[in-house]
Structures are given as structure tokens and as C-alpha cells.
Amino acid sequence: MRKSFLLAVLLISIAMISYAQDENDSLLNELNDNNTATLKNENVIATFKATRIIDGSSVENLGAGVLDFRINHRFGDLSQGVHNTFGLDNATTKLSLDYGVTKWLMVGVGHSALNNEDDGLLKAKILKQKEKGLPLTLSYGGYISIQTTPAPSLPSGDTWKFSNRLYYANQLLIARKFNDWFSLQLMPTIVHYNGVDSSKFSNNTIAVGIGGRVKVSKRIAITSEYYYRATNADLLYVGQTTYNALSIGIDIETGGHVFQLVFTNSQGLSERSFIGQTTDSWSKGNIHFGFNISRVFTVVKPKEFRNLKEN
């Protein structure tokens, strides 16, 4: 596990050195040209280009009145080769809708084909990084999920409770945009599992995630995230050994879309799944290829645009 953690940090460091470019975002260029003095006191924008780094949340929120439709797809284990048509035979998909309630609050719902899981999220931005002043952005993420698969067979006398289907996660998202091409985020997280063998494992898994984004060009960036479990590192899932999740992605921005190519050892697409129930390992060659697609729609126009149109 320590080797995986060092690998994640090393990957981010290599990307920093290999792809470092000092490009200004077009919006920042415009602001600099018009009012440099004002910009120094403005909030830092675009720490990440989407509300999720890869699987886990970023500090970014949707704007008020903005709807984000996401498709997350993961193929099966590539190491099985022709036995599962290089992952095509056991792929899984998640569809989700996120909505910006206000500038600082967003909510979302989703459904994953893996274990027939429904989930919901609430994310609130607490602090915003400033050009001059506050050095970081802080957000809170709360998640709940329910598995709708048929109840398993239990020993005589035992009862399968509805609460055993529920999972909860809480995390802080702490991020800093160091410059126009590099951002880094830490994610201390607690995942609560109702249905575990409490004689062997804790109901709470404490983990610390690290994620980063390195801008390669105006529309392409390299992302990576890793979750290290401080507790329940030996947690079993359906009798299988679990591992820490490590994912690497390539972001491609195309207008209103953000298209992301992903390589990961986790096929799960919810916090309870990829943080504590990843049963594949990079060291064993168990890698899943996949992609994320994000399409943003403006449902309610911001006041600024309405006022601009009137003027």
C-alpha cells in the first residue's frame, strides 16, 4: 500500500516536470487585460475543470442553475485478455445528474449498474482560494448510497435488514491551484458500512485521498487520484481482498463537454465502492480502462447574464 501511495505521488511529480507549461486561461487573460488590480483580489477559478477529478469529487461546484449530465463507464479487467474480450464482456456504467442550487451548493443523484446501486450527493463550498490572501479552497462532500440487489441467503435465524443496504461517506476537499497548469487536492474521508462483520472489521473506514491535475495544453490535462485507507486496510468484500484505489486520467475539453480517458484498478463508481471495496490491484495487472463524459446545460440563466442582455 505504501508503494502504491509513493507511485501516485511520483506520477504527479513526473507529470509536473514533463508537462509544465505556463499557459493562461482565456478568461484570466481577458481579466488581466481589463483590470489587473481587481484580479488580485478575485477568487481563483478552474482549480479543476470538472466537479470530479476522476472518480472522487473535486472542490469545483456547478454554477447556480447549471445541470451536469455524466456518463461514467468502466470496462472489465484487461489482464484477462480474450477470456472477457479485453474487458468488453463485463463492463459497468453509471449515469448521474448534478445540479447547482446556489453558487456554493450542489446536489446530485446517480445509478450504477454495478450492484444496482443508487446514490446521492451534497457538496458545499466553504472557503475559496484568493489571488491574494486565502491560499486554498475548502469544500464538504456528503454521500449516501443504497444497493438494490436481491437480499443474500443468511444462516438460519438471521434477518437481512434494510439498513444493511445503506452506505454513507463524508469528506473534506482541500485544494490549491498553484499556477495555471498545476492543482493539488487532499481528501480526508470517512466511509460508513452498515453491513460488515463487526467482529473482524470496523463499520468506519478512514481514508486519505490525494489528487492532482497537470495542464498539458489549452484543452488537455493529466489527472490522477489515490485513496490510502488508514483503517480497514484488510477489509474483505464478498470474500475477496481489497486494495487502495489508484486512477490516472486524460482530460479533453471540447466546448460544453469534458471527455476523460481513465485507467484504474477500481471498477466501482461510488465512494463506498472505489474507496473501500476495490478488489483489483495494479501490481497484479488488474487494470480497467474506461471513460467519463460530462455535458453541462444551463437550466436557469445567472443574473449577470440576464442583466448583461438587458444592458
* pLDDT value for 89: 77
User: Considering only 18-32, 180-194, 293-307, which range has the smallest mean pLDDT?
Assistant: 18-32
C-alpha 251/C-alpha 249 separation (Å) is 6
- Predicted confidence (pLDDT) at residue 310 exceeds the cutoff of 90: no
Long-range contact list for 279-284, CB < 8 A, 24+ apart? 279/237, 279/238, 279/240, 279/241, 279/242, 279/243, 280/77, 280/243, 281/243, 282/4, 282/7, 282/246, 283/3, 283/4, 284/79
95 in any annotated domain: yes
pLDDT grade, residue 7 (50/70/90)? very low
Give the highest mean pLDDT range of 180-184, 196-200, 298-302. 180-184
193 in any annotated domain: yes
- Predicted confidence (pLDDT) at residue 222 exceeds the cutoff of 90: yes
CB 292 within 8 A of CB 51: no
Q: What is the mean pLDDT of residues 241-249?
A: 96
* pLDDT value for 88: 79
Domain count, the chain: 1
* pLDDT value for 174: 98
- The vertex-265 CA angle with 263 and 268, nearest 5°, equals 100
9 in any annotated domain: no
105 in any annotated domain: yes
* pLDDT value for 214: 97
61 in any annotated domain: no
User: Alpha carbon 3 to chain centroid distance?
Assistant: 22
* pLDDT value for 4: 47
User: Residue with C-alpha cell 477559478?
Assistant: 45
213 in any annotated domain: yes
Q: What percent of the chain has pLDDT over 90?
A: 62
* pLDDT value for 306: 58
Helix (H) or strand (E) holding 272: helix 271-276
- Predicted confidence (pLDDT) at residue 188 exceeds the cutoff of 70: yes
pLDDT grade, residue 175 (50/70/90)? very high
Asked whether the CA dihedral 226, 46, 38, 303 is positive or negative, the reply is negative
29 in any annotated domain: no
C-alpha 241/C-alpha 234 separation (Å) is 7
* pLDDT value for 22: 37
- Would you give the DSSP letter of residue 66? E
Give the highest mean pLDDT range of 32-46, 153-167, 197-211. 197-211
φ, ψ of residue 271 to 5 degrees: the values are -60, -45
pLDDT grade, residue 155 (50/70/90)? low
Range of the domain at 204: 66-149+162-299
* pLDDT value for 3: 47
- Helix, strand counts (H, E) of the chain: 5, 14
* pLDDT value for 25: 41
User: Alpha carbon 58 to chain centroid distance?
Assistant: 6
Q: What is the mean pLDDT of residues 278-296?
A: 93
- Predicted confidence (pLDDT) at residue 30 exceeds the cutoff of 60: no
* pLDDT value for 261: 95
Supply the CATH number for residue 219's domain: 2.40.160.40
11 in any annotated domain: no
Kindly report, residue by residue over 119-142, the tens digit of the pLDDT: 999 999 999 999 988 999 999 999
Q: What is the mean pLDDT of residues 164-182?
A: 95
